Amino acid sequence: MTLATDNPLLQPWDTLHGLPPFRRIRTEHFAPAFEVALAEHLADIERIAGSAAAPGFENTIAALDRSGRLLDRVGSLFHNLTASETSPPLQAVERDMAPRLAAHNNKVYSNAALFARIDALHEQRAALKLSPEQLRVLERIHFDFVRAGAKLAPAAQQRYGEVMQRLAELTTRFGQNVLADEAAYRLVLRDESDLAGLPDFVRASARQAAAERGLSDAGVITLSRSHIVPFLTFSQRRDLREQAWRAWTTRGEHAGEHDNRPVAREILSLRNEQARLHGYAAFADYALADTMAKTQRAVADLLQQVWPAAKARAEEEREALQAIALSRGESFPIEAWDWRFYAEKVRQARYDIDEATTKPYFRLERMVEAVFDCAQRLFGLRFVALPQVQAYHDDVIVYEVQDQGGAVLGVFLHDNFARPSKRSGAWMSVFRQQSRNAGATAIVINNNNFARGAPGEPTLLSFDDARTLFHEFGHGLHGLLSNVTYECVSGTNVLRDFVELPSQLFEHWLEQPEVLKRHARHYRTDAPIPDALVAKLHAARRFNQGYETVRYTASALVDMAAHALTESQAPDVVEFERAELQRIGLPGGIGLNHRLVHFQHLFSSSSYAAGYYVYLWAEVLDADGFGAFVEAGNVFDPGVAARLRQFIYASGNSLEPAMAYRSFRGRAPTVQPMLEKRGLALEPA
């Protein structure tokens, strides 16, 4: 083939650091680029599989790891755009390509000649004198092929491919349906009565959202978390809180073309079939086989360590909420759209602290400086802005990342604002993964969905928003600091219940007084956050943790129950969810982090299916792991930071995760620090 073409996706990217030429790329470039890239990848596979030479690590495993460079480049760009800056034409390409990419993946993993070479190497791996990383790569690739059906009989292999293609179609549709519901909704606030109780920062972001949607003299509340949570926290209009809450919790549950109920049901049914083809009774068993937890029992044991205590704490919190409501002459029972509103009143009364007081100290730009500063103090990194580089949207800021000696480690893109063309939530992704085998440094992106301040006004973050910023940056560091030879074990290509450790661990630095005093500065006066306010933030850390833990754990329990089903046909997901919540005893008036009809962790891909528990699993590791810095007496201790970089952030999946953690910490983790962190530990007798 020739690269002499007008399609920029097929031309060499002679841009700075090999970044995509974003502003030259149009939607119509993707379909023909995928055609070329898919064919090129299959040619790579056929060369490896058909080699006359005896299978060896270099000509089979390393070659496979290097294969499909063009497909990786085009696919990474495409999937980042469909998440961060989509459009109806791009979504049409996404719907068309999803099953075709799944079919291509199946063709690769069902290549009998290729698997025969991999299998032969796996059989003789003990005699091959491989490095520890090479052995890990060989074992992981062999395992991935087996999990993708390489050992299935031909008829089962064909059916497996059909199942995976249909799942690709359905997961794509699920995510697009959620985005459609989110983009279509707007709660318009037209006068002072609609704005009652809202502090200035909420009013400002509502005015900005209205302006972006062509509305003047009004405010708009969208279904972005940075809009909906402050509205539910401060609005005195109980009727509008209920309206907003119902819109938020029923995304994906509306009859018509965006109804996710039949989509989720079919996904669950097909995942059941996928698991049975592999000999597992349920998808949860299949999914957990490639995790640290391994079994449903291990997950259940973890979740049950917090569920009863969380429910008991939530009931105590409800009593406090009901009491403050009664003191205001409001005798109705606390409903889900009331909880945040009254919790904020209790928080103000107990800790003399509220978001209107704290947010002026958490300007977005200052918090970005904070994450960069922590990365520098821990790992010697510098983030140098590249204002001359245009990304796919003007919101995106591009940075060159330099190591301590000034060498370029990678590129970091920061996309922080909510917009209708961007899916909800917060996430890290890559445009290119680090790999010495492919001679590549990492290009990493963090996406957030913060509510933009009004023109001329700063974007102010809540403390939870700032925590999200630190969390995603921890994922970003996991990609940027990767230091492995082979791409398949690079960066965040780790077991699902290990991947949240680097992100959740990095959150701890936000809470450190020396970080807050340096970076949390009032946006008007530049005065550092007062010691008294820092003390109040720390005192309030465990406030409302019963509520938060119940919402998370209930979602994790429903996820596991849905994927533990063994029937060939899944039930109606709304009725199943209702019955399961009744069975586990979800307290009223609290709700879930995510209902099944919009649970994108589970149904926009399979990444977190039977895996939402991983945040709690990783919290056991992060709470215990941060203790190493506490014990050292310095939260930036160089020795501990060096071990953290080597074994957690840089090793990718080149080490078995339990071994990686022990190498960092010197021992296995204990659960007690996590329980104490959440305020759920039993008091000593």
Residues marked active site are found at: 472
Residue type at position 439 = G
Whether 437 and 451 have beta carbons less than 8 Å apart is answered as no
Burial of 326: CB neighbours in 10 Å, binned 0-12, 13-18, 19+? exposed
Whether 628 and 640 have beta carbons less than 8 Å apart is answered as yes
Whether 381 and 564 have beta carbons less than 8 Å apart is answered as no
Q: What is the C-alpha separation between 281 and 300, in angstroms, rounded?
A: 17
The 10 Å CB-count burial string (b at 16+, else e) for 249-275 is bebbbbeeebebbebbbbbbbbbbbbb
Residue 512 makes CB contacts below 8 A (sequence gap 6+) with 635
Nearest to 496 by CA among 412, 616, 413: 616
408-417 and 397-402 beta bridge pairing? antiparallel
Residue 192 makes CB contacts below 8 A (sequence gap 6+) with none
Task: Report the first-to-last Cα separation within the chain, whole angstroms.
Answer: 75
Nearest to 340 by CA among 467, 512, 225: 225
Burial of 377: CB neighbours in 10 Å, binned 0-12, 13-18, 19+? middle
Number of neighbours of residue 428 by Cβ within 10 angstroms: 23
Distance of CA 347 to the CA centre of its chain: 29
Rg (C-alpha) for the chain, rounded Å, is: 25
* Per-residue three-class SS string for 60-107: HHHHHHHCCHHHHHHHHHHHHHHHHCCCHHHHHHHHHHHHHHHHHHHH
Neighbouring-strand partners of residue 406:
none
Whether 292 and 657 have beta carbons less than 8 Å apart is answered as yes
431's enclosing H/E stretch is: strand 427-432
DSSP letter for each residue of 449-488:
EEPPPPTTS--B--HHHHHHHHHHHHHHHHHHT---S-GG
Q: Rounded to whole angstroms, what are the CA distances from 135 to 55, 139, 145, 526?
A: 15, 6, 16, 53
Whether 433 and 491 have beta carbons less than 8 Å apart is answered as yes
Q: What is the C-alpha separation between 277 and 159, in angstroms, rounded?
A: 9
* Per-residue three-class SS string for 275-292: HHHCCCCCHHHHHHCCCC
Distance of CA 444 to the CA centre of its chain: 14
Q: What is the C-alpha separation between 672 and 653, in angstroms, rounded?
A: 27
Residue 600 makes CB contacts below 8 A (sequence gap 6+) with 174, 175, 178, 423, 424, 425, 594
Whether 407 and 416 have beta carbons less than 8 Å apart is answered as no
Nearest to 637 by CA among 610, 664, 661: 664
Nearest to 537 by CA among 518, 517, 557, 555: 517
